[in-house]
Amino acid sequence: MTGESWGSHGVGYGRYTGGVSKTFYIETFGCQMNAHDSEKVIGTLEQQGYARVQDEVDAGLILYNTCSIRDKAEQKVFHRLNEYKKLQGEGKRFAVIGCVAQQEGEKIFEKAPYVSLVAGSASYRNLPEMLARLEAGETRITGLDDRQTDETFETEFTARSNPHRGYITIIEGCDKFCAYCVVPYTRGKERSRTAASVLVEARKMADMGFTEIQFLGQNVNSYRDPSGRMSFAELLVAVGEIEGVKRVRFTTSHPRDFTRDIVEAIDATPTLCDHIHLPVQSGSTAVLKAMAREYSREWYLERMSWIHGAKRDISITSDMIVGFPGETDADFEETITLLDAVKYDAVFAFKFSPRPNTPAVGMVDSIPEEVKTERLRILMDRQREIQREHYGRHLNEVQECMVESHNMARMQVVGRSTQNKTVNFVMGAGEVGMPPVGSYVPVRITKTLPNCLVGEALAVGPDAVRYVPVVRQPQFVVLN
């Protein structure tokens, strides 16, 4: 997944439990996939009679949902577990779930013997059974599926943390086996949900007030409907045509499975957001081959030409790795020239670090750390220059922005455009109050910065419904 949402999220919202001792606290590290996995885990736990609490001190069960994409992920896990260790004498139970759990397996019990449950993401569907064993007193419970499972994690209950924007995982796992990536070993093989089940969930979300739906997958555009009913592009269009849905997004795509009909679908369907995140990782064909990415620079640039040739102005973002083993100065220069050719709206770049169990572990990491650091600086400096210039195309445009929050200190509204750009705007002259979170506001762009846009909300006639708040606050999407 992309580095867009990398971070840690403590999940709480304590409530009166009427003396129920089944309470839990969950902390999540990683991207949107992990965050959405936690929403599904939370929904399952609550369906099993558990109650969320705001602080681990008040929890009977502490869960740590982990990610192993970035360097030193395992150290972070055990550091946090060591912090929790002081609570073990209070009758608490500890669970490590997610990618690090799948990667480290039962070694977690050896390093942290107070942990009672270790479960990889492919085994979350068995959570009710594992919780029952935990409640029965078992102290070493594992859920470590091998990567050949055909089952996906569909839950009857999903706790949605945002009542306006909702995620749907349409495909899990990865079959690409890029040399640097741990995902195929921790998430298993690619397995897709049926288009019918995705549409059922999307329609129910729309009925409950969600206006933006985002498809998720390690390689979301590698989706293959098991029933053979719809292609990925057709599924995007079908969800975009559901009444009440104003925006449809998807992340993360793989260039190898990126097809022209995706661009054609965005062009033809206004509700499909004009933003594509297509990680390239390197601009050098030689490095791409060493990475086992299964495409060349020319292949990638052909797909960029499809996007650049679209009727709509489609925003393009990407992931890049600098300092991969064997990357020469000439290879790195090809990455810089790719920036100039594509003109990305954002790039998430990282220094190479070998991940456990991947082919890159056996490669000689010949690039000195200081060279990696300097290459990363050069790349990000050039990208910042491109963004400063490229964002200028939006000056004086009117963009519809979904309100995400309010900055009361500056009396600004923080919104997001269909291109996934942050837009900070003020209300127009004579406007009173702030539009509610989740509403959509037309904004004229008055200033452009390298990482955001600045604007002013347009006035709306007195007889029009200016801002329509979404008053429903759904906690679950229930699938029959």
Between 390 and 477, the higher pLDDT residue:
390
pLDDT of residue 474: 33
- Going edge to edge, which strands form the sheet with 275-277? 275-277, 315-322, 346-351
pLDDT of residue 429: 67
Q: Residue 21 — pLDDT band, cuts 50, 70, 90?
A: low
Domain over 165-391 is classified CATH 3.80.30.20 = yes
Q: Residue 147 — pLDDT band, cuts 50, 70, 90?
A: low
Q: Residue 15 — pLDDT band, cuts 50, 70, 90?
A: very low
Lowest mean pLDDT among 23-37, 74-88, 122-136, 170-184: 74-88
Q: Provide mean pLDDT across the span 199-209.
A: 95
How confident is the prediction for the chain on average, in pLDDT? 87
pLDDT of residue 3: 39
The model's pLDDT over 93-120, given as tens digits with 9 standing for 90+, comes to 999 998 889 888 899 999 899 899 999 8
Between 418 and 144, the higher pLDDT residue:
418
pLDDT of residue 89: 66
What is the torsional sign of CA 373, 252, 246, 28?
negative
pLDDT of residue 466: 40
Do the strands 61-66 and 93-98 form a parallel or antiparallel pair, or are they unpaired? parallel
Measured CA to CA, the distance from residue 400 to residue 318 in angstroms comes to: 24
- Half-sphere exposure of residue 342: CA atoms within 13 angstroms, side-chain side: 33
pLDDT of residue 273: 98
Task: With a cut of 70, say whether residue 132 has pLDDT above it.
Answer: yes
User: Out of 2.40.50.140, 2.40.160.40, 3.40.190.80, 3.20.20.140, which CATH number does the structure's domain 395-457 have?
Assistant: 2.40.50.140
Distances (CA, A) of 367 to 202, 224, 328, 353: 46, 38, 9, 11
Helices (H), 16-126: 32-47, 73-84, 99-104, 107-111
Task: With a cut of 50, say whether residue 11 has pLDDT above it.
Answer: no
Residue from 274, 220, 271, 269 nearest 421 by CA? 274
pLDDT of residue 103: 87
pLDDT of residue 433: 77
Task: With a cut of 70, say whether residue 16 has pLDDT above it.
Answer: no
pLDDT of residue 432: 62
Residue from 44, 104, 52 nearest 78 by CA? 104
Task: With a cut of 90, say whether residue 154 has pLDDT above it.
Answer: no
Q: Tokens 């973002």 — which residue?
A: 317
Q: Provide mean pLDDT across the span 129-141.
A: 92
- Give Rg (Cα) of the chain: 23
pLDDT of residue 461: 44
SS3 content of the chain, % helix, strand, coil (to 5): 35, 20, 40
Distances (CA, A) of 378 to 26, 332, 411: 38, 10, 36
pLDDT of residue 187: 85
Question: What are the residue ranges spanned by the domains of the chain?
Answer: 3-143, 165-391, 395-457
Q: Provide mean pLDDT across the span 290-294.
A: 98
> Fold for domain 3-143?
Rossmann fold (3.40.50)
Q: Residue 144 — pLDDT band, cuts 50, 70, 90?
A: confident
pLDDT of residue 359: 92
Between 459 and 373, the higher pLDDT residue:
373
Q: Provide mean pLDDT across the span 60-66.
A: 91
Task: With a cut of 60, say whether residue 92 has pLDDT above it.
Answer: yes
Lowest mean pLDDT among 67-76, 98-107, 418-427: 67-76
Q: Provide mean pLDDT across the span 28-43.
A: 85
Q: Residue 32 — pLDDT band, cuts 50, 70, 90?
A: confident
pLDDT of residue 149: 76
Lowest mean pLDDT among 98-102, 311-315, 321-325, 461-465: 461-465
Measured CA to CA, the distance from residue 163 to residue 211 in angstroms comes to: 9
Task: With a cut of 60, say whether residue 251 has pLDDT above it.
Answer: yes
The model's pLDDT over 364-404, given as tens digits with 9 standing for 90+, comes to 888 999 999 999 999 999 999 999 999 999 999 999 999 99
Q: Provide mean pLDDT across the span 325-331.
A: 97
Q: Residue 430 — pLDDT band, cuts 50, 70, 90?
A: low
